[in-house]
Structure 1
Amino acid sequence: MKDKTEVEHISPYSSSHDHLADDDHNDLFNEKPDLSWPSIRHYFATRIPNLLDLPLYRQDRKWYQVVNPIPGLKEMTALNWNLYGLGFLAWSLDSMDFFCVSVSASEIAATLNVSVTDITWGVTLVLMLRSVGAVIFGIAADKFGRKWCYITICTLFIAVEIGTGLVQTYKQFLGVRALFGVLMGAMYPIAMVTAIEGQPTVARSVLSGLFLPGYSFGYILAMVFYRAFANTYKPGEGWRSLFWFSAGLSVLLIAWRFVVPESPDFIKLKEKKRRFNERNRVKHKLIDTSVLQTLKTEWLLFIYLVFLYSGWNFTTHGSQDLYVTMLTKQFGVSLNTKTVIVVVSNIGGIIGGITMGSVSELFGRRLTVIICMIWCGAFVYPSFFNANRNWWAYVLLNGGVMGAWGISSVYLLEVVNKANRALISGLAYQLGNLVSSASATIEARLGEKFPLEGHSGGDDLYDYGKVMCIFCGAVFSYMIICVLVGPEKFHNNLHVTDEDEVLEEGSSQDDLKSDRRM
């Protein structure tokens, strides 16, 4: 039998509160924030001790045994693997569908007789409406379940992707992309909780490390299949085949999800929330008082998470949105070379996510993110100056960016409550993404201050490398500060306990507290 005190350990310097899972309220919700001056002073006084209270110090194993993901992965059951595969591939397909517009923007613009800038408004609409989907389907997933929300979103994906391939006017294009924005915002929280919430604790870090870089995997798929479908359907309209093909991939996910049962953790969660609502005298099935309780307990944490995820999203948008433009306009890189750079840098991102996810088992979540930001800072200059020759540095920088992102999912699920984890995690992520959607505009404005020497002030002839270097340096610094002042609940228990687990959980926590007093 496993030593549960090790598996479920939360650092004694953590901002979490020790409690037994002795009733539904304690298991479902965090405690209300204490805003008294002694509590605030204590919190900030423990940010550095918390950061330096490394999980490595509490391990009897060697460091290379701790970061080895194989033992943790061996604990996964067939259901665990199925749920993770469904979550990861849904997020990757979500990303692929998003980038299908980016990689084929010029062809779509030519077909619809508009400018490429007009087509980018379709991307902006997606970013603007993702929060709407996060709210609608976040509430639905926490109330009705992960499975049927997943199937519903994939079904709607099919309709939207087929519709995108059939559009004949610019207004029709904007309409279907607006709907896609709602669905993209809906898919992230459901895919994340499907993939991670029920996994063994020791496998959680490496699985999280791979999950968010599924975004990079989706980018690669979009680039590869864009090239594959370039000469299909009609001349200049191969992009239509690309969207129809992506719709077909959703069919496969629906069929797979049909045969995999609902998350066991959600089934327990649903029963506990039912009892909670009954005790609060709510009999109507459509009223869920747990959302109101969550507003009371999570509001301060939620505000922090929006600031944190704004910074996290700025790291990707700031380092990626103008990168291809920089390679093309400033350094004259060919299409084939750009494709290689994009693919290799995203593979670097996937490797970075997996690696740093596992490393967070040694250093904790917050310190590992800070290490990633320092790593990125070291490669900012070579990545954006002489970028045609130093693209290798950008691969390493992207590995650091996605390395930090690889920790984000497990960090988020460990700090939010269980009752409404899909709603809180999805909305915090999407609001942060909404804030960061202005990064391209910010960089463009900064670019106007750095025209390229030797040019007579033509459009877009700016020193993008200098702009991105300044912007990314500021963002990486912001992330270090934001993570430094934030909470952490390393290895917090994500599983919903049922009645016959309560006694065992309580005993384990008693043992842990006894150890801390020694």
Structure 2
Amino acid sequence: MSEIASSQERTVNTVRVSTVKAQHHFTGAEVRHYFKTRFTQLIPTRKSIREAREQYPINPFPALKHMNWQQTQFFIVGFLAWTWDALDFFAVSLNMSNIAKDMDKSITDISHAITLVLLLRVVGAIIFGYLGDRYGRKYPYCVSMALIVVIQIGTGFVKTFPAFLGCRALFGIIMGSIFGIANATALENAPVESKSILSGIFQEGYAMGYLLGVIFQRAIVDNSPHGWRSLFWFSSGPPVLFIVWRLVLPESGAYSRRKLEEKKLAENSDKTVSSQFWHTTLLALKAHWITLIYLVILMAMFNFSSHGSQDLFPTMLTNQYDYSSDASTVTNSLANIGALVGGIIVAHVSSFIGRRFAIILCCIGGGAMLYPWGFIESPKGLNPSVFFLQFFVQGAWGVVPIHLTELAPVEFRAFVTGVAYQMGNMISSASSTIEASLGQRFPIEGKEGIYDYGKVMCIFMGCVFAGLLITTLLGPENKGGEVFVNEGRYEETRGDVAALERSSEYALDNFEFKPEVEQVENKV
């Protein structure tokens, strides 16, 4: 969470290392300084943009040439896991009306299954985050995918609503295991020049999963005698291929190097590797507890934005607007194409203007699109609106993987990113239920049992955009850096000092650390 200014000029091949001792008492001046810099350092200067352009190309795709074949495969298997995770989740959202009819329940009842999944994802994030940081990325990834196969097949065979809820509860735990492991697998081995664009591509695996769900819903469910169950059975197949691919790849290189360093530390301190791991864990919690709390709040706002704009949207199209299957497929597809484009573009742009500023611009742009998105029924007006709304929603989300990676300690990257993400999901878990319940207060005249979900989602998302903007504005940023915990010290390496040189000096950029310390340079 610390951002330490440096007056030295940055060279392309130099990474500065700042060692900062933990401090747990904060003066009023330090607190005031932190909040002051949230505003003074938000908007990038011409100098910072110029220096960022020296490091990051305007066209991001040539930067992918820096990746070797193994790094590319790591990214692809991580991306595929996250994409299929999203498809499995949205299988319920896309079939709420079908499942409700099949099980003789209301849409609000079925929305409880979505809430249950979001509530329990944090359990899987904790379990597999620990396993991923303790034992490696490879086998926790394979176990997660194997469990997804089993539970998706089982869900397709349930006959009762309690059994359906039970399967979704188990799915929530398994689903919670995937983000942290997949994110670490995809990004931690990538070169610095490629990480921003890869962050956007990776995060939009979520939108890609939704888009694939829409396509397979139309191609399989609408043409199968087994209805919604066929989508669950189909979705259990591809993860088997992901498992095989991951098994033939080695363990993450970044993880292996870190474990070797941990082993050396244990030998030097006469500790076992296990005791060294828990020793470092304790140090990380002491040093970063404010960071972790902030990340949970930030991810709660992000998850409110995605679930609030997506979970009930297919229901609004079919129930409120009477869209046909073809029309609904087109509109949902445009929404996810907008999400894909926005996530990739905004993530790359954040390399130049900063992570926080990029997110805030998306909140403002998304807020401007709420009225046409929530109140225009005609496809001619709704389709462009939903494209640009999801462009901004998922554009902000595109920054999330790299933003979390830069703020999370390297030693606990899978745990911190996964748990923060899933605890945010847990807090936002009632999004669809809240919207469905509030929708019942706005019945549409002349249509029994049909409610104005558009109005409810519009109001809900207005509040969410405002909350996300304020949370991001007041939060930290560590663009281009990495955080390490090493023998009681907090270390931060940076490849982008320009972002820090927006003010002449600062003593503290958070409430945890006071940088009255020595700064050294390491050649990369």
TM-score (norm 1): 0.85
Distance 1:94 1:243 in 2: 12
1:397 paired with 2:396, answer no
Q: Which residue of 2 aligns with 1:181?
A: 172
> Does the CA-based 8 Å contact 1:209-1:355 persist in structure 2?
yes
Q: Which residue of 2 aligns with 1:369?
A: 359
1:226 paired with 2:217, answer yes
For 2:332, the aligned partner's letter is V
Stretch moving more, 166-175 or 355-364: 166-175
Report Cα offsets for 1:28-85 as digits up to 9, x if no partner.
Answer: xx94565332321221121122212448635358699733113321101111100100
Distance 1:279 1:61 in 2: 39
Q: Which residue of 1 aligns with 2:111?
A: 120
1:272 paired with 2:264, answer no
CA 480–60 in structure 1, closer or farther in 2 if over 3 Å, else same: closer
Which residues of 2 match residues 60-79 of structure 1 at below 5 A? 66-79=57-70
> Does the CA-based 8 Å contact 2:108-2:436 persist in structure 1?
no
1:117 CA displacement: 4.3
Percent identity, aligned pairs only, is: 41
Q: Which residue of 1 aligns with 2:319?
A: 329
> Does the CA-based 8 Å contact 2:284-2:485 persist in structure 1?
no
Distance 2:223 2:496 in 1: 61
For 1:270, the aligned partner's letter is K
Report Cα offsets for 1:120-150 as digits up to 9, x if no partner.
Answer: 3332221111000000000110010001111
Picking from 197, 200, 211, the partner of 2:202 is: 211
For 1:42, the aligned partner's letter is H
1:93 paired with 2:84, answer yes
Distance 1:107 1:368 in 2: 39
Q: Give the SS at the match of 2:70.
A: helix
> Does the CA-based 8 Å contact 1:192-1:409 persist in structure 2?
yes
Distance 2:235 2:472 in 1: 36
Picking from 47, 50, 61, the partner of 2:38 is: 47
Distance 1:338 1:31 in 2: 54
Distance 1:475 1:506 in 2: 32
Q: Which residue of 1 aligns with 2:334?
A: 344
Greater share of strand:
2
Higher relative contact order (CA 8 A, sep 6+): 2
Picking from 259, 266, 284, the partner of 1:294 is: 284
1:324 CA displacement: 2.5
1:316 CA displacement: 1.1
> Does the CA-based 8 Å contact 2:116-2:429 persist in structure 1?
no
Which ranges of structure 2 fall in alignment gaps of 5 or more residues?
1-8, 506-524
Stretch moving more, 209-218 or 110-119: 110-119
CA 472–145 in structure 1, closer or farther in 2 if over 3 Å, else same: same
1:243 paired with 2:232, answer yes
Q: Which residue of 1 aligns with 2:186?
A: 195
Distance 2:410 2:364 in 1: 32
> Does the CA-based 8 Å contact 1:54-1:364 persist in structure 2?
no
1:477 CA displacement: 1.2
For 2:345, the aligned partner's letter is T
Q: Which residue of 2 aligns with 1:491?
A: 480
Picking from 164, 176, 182, the partner of 2:155 is: 164
TM-score (norm 2): 0.84
Distance 1:7 1:202 in 2: 12
Distance 1:191 1:507 in 2: 24
1:377 CA displacement: 1.2
Report Cα offsets for 1:340-396 as digits up to 9, x if no partner.
Answer: 100111011000000101111110100010111111111111111113342111110
Query: Number of paired residues?
Result: 486
CA RMSD of aligned residues (A): 3.1
1:283 CA displacement: 2.4
CA 444–240 in structure 1, closer or farther in 2 if over 3 Å, else same: closer
Distance 1:19 1:242 in 2: 51
1:321 CA displacement: 2.4
1:81 paired with 2:72, answer yes
CA 432–94 in structure 1, closer or farther in 2 if over 3 Å, else same: same
CA 279–134 in structure 1, closer or farther in 2 if over 3 Å, else same: farther
1:424 paired with 2:424, answer no
1:263 paired with 2:255, answer no
> Does the CA-based 8 Å contact 2:14-2:495 persist in structure 1?
no
1:307 CA displacement: 1.1
Q: Give the SS at the match of 1:59.
A: helix
CA 442–281 in structure 1, closer or farther in 2 if over 3 Å, else same: farther
Report Cα offsets for 1:464-491 as digits up to 9, x if no partner.
Answer: 3322222211211111111111000110
Q: Give the SS at the match of 1:288.
A: helix
Picking from 433, 449, 468, the partner of 1:479 is: 468
CA 7–361 in structure 1, closer or farther in 2 if over 3 Å, else same: farther
CA 81–214 in structure 1, closer or farther in 2 if over 3 Å, else same: same
1:137 paired with 2:118, answer no
Distance 1:250 1:508 in 2: 37
Q: Give the SS at the match of 1:19.
A: strand
Which ranges of structure 1 fall in alignment gaps of 5 or more residues?
11-17, 21-25
1:315 paired with 2:305, answer yes
Greater share of helix:
1
Distance 1:253 1:48 in 2: 44
1:449 CA displacement: 4.8
Distance 1:121 1:508 in 2: 44
Distance 1:508 1:119 in 2: 47
Q: Give the SS at the match of 2:237.
A: helix
CA 228–450 in structure 1, closer or farther in 2 if over 3 Å, else same: closer
